[in-house]
Structure 1
Amino acid sequence: MEFAEKLSALAAKVRQQRGVIQTEEATKNAFVMPFISTILGYDVFNPMEVVPEFIADVGLKKGEKIDYAIVKDGEVQILIECKKSTEPVKIEHASQLFRYFAVTNARIAILTNGEVYQFFTDLDAPNRMDAKPFLVLDLNDIDQSLIPELQKLSKDVFDLDSIISAAGELKYIGELKRTLAAQFKEPEDEWVKFLTTRVYTGPYTQKVREQFTTLVSKATKQFLNDQVNERLKKALGNPGFPQTEEATIPTAVTSTPVAEADLAEVDALETTLEEIEGYQIVRAIVCSEVKPVRVAQRDAKSYFAVLLDDNNRKPIARLHFNRTQKYIGIFDDNKEETRVPISSLEEIYEHTEALRATVKSYL
């Protein structure tokens, strides 16, 4: 399994189990130890590689422990401090990391709750851990651009010099991306004014501010949607995207046969970000059975289809998201669809076995 696939598999596990993880020890056992072993590649049961409850006396403080120290080439290289998954990761939780960072040879410190991993180094001052992370990995929303940098910390290709040299750029790019994401989600007054004054020549009054706050929010969402569609168009090599096939689905039944004939092409469809996210989740689930490139998508008026080999006779799932109550369509061996109501995208992971079984039936 490739590095990115392992990361997706761990992310799926976190989503499935987070509801029953209530303590710090449970977080370590269920999430953090698999991250150290599966993602970073270190043997958590070998004290020459991973030291739990690592002790290094700091000044007058004796016997303090940090959750894990990762050893490479006989030296402590990475320190890890854990909090329970039900708590957000905050820099206030990193007091022990700050102290230990100064008295060990470690250049990398990780603060995590098992779902979000914040990576720190000493860019601002030598042997002093920075107050802000240079890399943030959120297993609930993995930034694909960070995967090559994260892989440099794995045992097989450990490249500390390379990641330290790239840390400065990663730190500021990450902060800029998070700032932009926050503005896109809920634009602040300064952001609204910045954009408004570039398209509106009149005085920036309270009424104008209120009007453009809504317009900026709509424009940014549409811009993101356009960018997603453009990237998918290029990935699929289909200049006419979005083009799709449509089947008639009676609304009064929960099980319908897949049409054997080619379905009608539908134009002027708008693929939503939620549908794209659902598609990515389904693809991540079934990539254990087939290469991700074989999992395709097609939008339609009444559903969003996930297909194997871009073949409408090989449906993996259908996402019925164009309504108040959302459904995921699951297929059996006879290619009959059963719609299951879901309240959030995370519930797609509850159907992992069924989705994988459908793919296996086509192989």
Structure 2
Amino acid sequence: MNTVIPKQAISQLRKSLDNFKLDDAIELCTNEAQTRKFLIEPFFHFLNYESNNLIPEYNADFGDRISQKIDYAVLLNKKETILVEAKKYNSKLTDREAGQLNGYFGNTKNSKIAILTNGIEYRFYSDILEPNIIDSKPFFVFSILSYCDSDIETLIKFDRRYIKIIEIVKSAQEVVFAESFEGAFFKEMAAPSKELLKIIHKNMTFGSKFNEDTQGKMINLINSAFLKSIYEKKMLEESNSNSLGVITTELEIQAYHTIRTLLIQNKKVAKERISYKDFKGFFNILVDDSSKKVICKLIFNDKFMKIVIDTNEYLLEHIDDLMKHKNELTNRAIMMME
């Protein structure tokens, strides 16, 4: 069973981050030591870590090798730690730099999570693909300059009071699996393999020989318009089936198209970047199909209709009431697209 985190704790974390005098702290950061003191340590305090939990210059155990120290170790208990590599404020973080953590990570057996940060951006890594080797990409990135509800809901899982490494790693595995599947699927759709075409051809009711001419016709059919049509058929199938526990209603689709129409009236909003994802209990309208770029959340049920834009909630009496929030929706969409 996953850890239940009180809504009050999530609200408190957001309040702490919102009230943090970031500009004042940044002005004090001219080197790495100041970045640690004025940006990184306060960040971990927001997550309820005390000084005795946050150990600077932590000695990674290299056995007979020369001792090396990691910038911080977040001590969770006697068995588990999170390693933190700190860079000076304004340093550009890259996944290549995360590779520097591999030496510490591989030799600190009680660590399953490592963080690379410059005090503004926090990149969370694990060893999902290969044990004891940092993955090439983070499974979660948090920026103290720009965050949404879903970012806060993920970050609170690292709070000292609620953190469960096993649950976090399992969630990270799901993220990596989904991204890997999406990448492989896109690659297959962009350049369909003969094996895929053969499987599809085998299931076609139209009788034809599987030759180069047939393969060429099939490849030409696999384009964006075709995939959109397939997607809509899949969506309709799921709407008519309760097996997944998610039902996309006509009202939600109507609201989506209304909001999309409002947004694309602004030239700064690219229509092809707007999408949606339905969940059990709510419906998100997104940028780039990313759960980290939520424009708004729709909560439609038998009792009420509600739209949530960032932290602002509005009750709707009718779908047309969405027009009242055009400016706020547009500003939110532009911010998510930047």
| TM-score of the aligned structures, taking structure 2 as reference length | 0.53
| Contact 1:54–1:68 (8 Å) recurs in 2 | yes
Which letter maps to 1:199? I
- Taking a change above 3 Å as real, the CA distance of residues 88 and 197 of structure 1, as seen in their structure-2 partners, is farther
Instruction: Tell me, in whole angstroms, the C-alpha distance in 2 between the residues paired with 1:213 and 1:36.
Output: 53
Give the aligned partner of residue 87 of structure 1. Answer: 93
Which letter maps to 2:98? H
SS of alignment partner, residue 199 of structure 1: helix
Which letter maps to 1:119? S
- Taking a change above 3 Å as real, the CA distance of residues 49 and 172 of structure 1, as seen in their structure-2 partners, is closer
Match for residue 36 of structure 1 among 31, 40, 44: 44
Instruction: Tell me, in whole angstroms, the C-alpha distance in 1 between the residues paired with 2:252 and 2:321.
Output: 20
Asked if 1:177 corresponds to 2:186, the answer is: no
Asked if 1:281 corresponds to 2:269, the answer is: no
- Taking a change above 3 Å as real, the CA distance of residues 181 and 51 of structure 1, as seen in their structure-2 partners, is same
Instruction: Tell me, in whole angstroms, the C-alpha distance in 2 between the residues paired with 1:80 and 1:182.
Output: 29
- Taking a change above 3 Å as real, the CA distance of residues 69 and 221 of structure 1, as seen in their structure-2 partners, is farther
Structure 1 unpaired stretches of 5+: 255-269, 287-292, 298-305, 319-328, 332-339, 351-363
Deviations 1:91-124 (A, max 9, x none): x6333x3333455463323143525422238984
Deviation, structure 1 residue 200? 2.9
SS of alignment partner, residue 93 of structure 2: coil
Give the aligned partner of residue 161 of structure 2. Answer: 156
Give the aligned partner of residue 294 of structure 1. Answer: 306
Which letter maps to 2:285? I
Give the aligned partner of residue 303 of structure 1. Answer: none
Give the aligned partner of residue 198 of structure 2. Answer: 197
Asked if 1:119 corresponds to 2:126, the answer is: yes
- Taking a change above 3 Å as real, the CA distance of residues 295 and 143 of structure 1, as seen in their structure-2 partners, is closer
Deviation, structure 1 residue 243? 3.1
Instruction: Tell me, in whole angstroms, the C-alpha distance in 1 between the residues paired with 2:108 and 2:164.
Output: 18
Give the aligned partner of residue 78 of structure 1. Answer: 82
Match for residue 253 of structure 2 among 242, 251, 270: 242
SS of alignment partner, residue 72 of structure 2: strand
Which letter maps to 2:161? D
Structure 2 unpaired stretches of 5+: 1-6, 203-208, 267-271, 277-283, 299-304
What is the Cα-based RMSD across aligned positions, in Å?
A: 5.9
| TM-score of the aligned structures, taking structure 1 as reference length | 0.51
Deviations 1:144-185 (A, max 9, x none): 79x68x76643113434x43xx84x65654443112222454
Instruction: Tell me, in whole angstroms, the C-alpha distance in 2 between the residues paired with 1:316 and 1:191.
Output: 45
Instruction: Tell me, in whole angstroms, the C-alpha distance in 1 between the residues paired with 2:56 and 2:337.
Output: 31
Instruction: Tell me, in whole angstroms, the C-alpha distance in 2 between the residues paired with 1:276 and 1:296.
Output: 10
Instruction: Tell me, in whole angstroms, the C-alpha distance in 1 between the residues paired with 2:156 and 2:247.
Output: 27
Match for residue 308 of structure 1 among 309, 314, 317: 314
In the TM superposition, 1:309-324 aligns within 5 A as 309-311=315-317, 312-313=320-321, 317-318=325-326
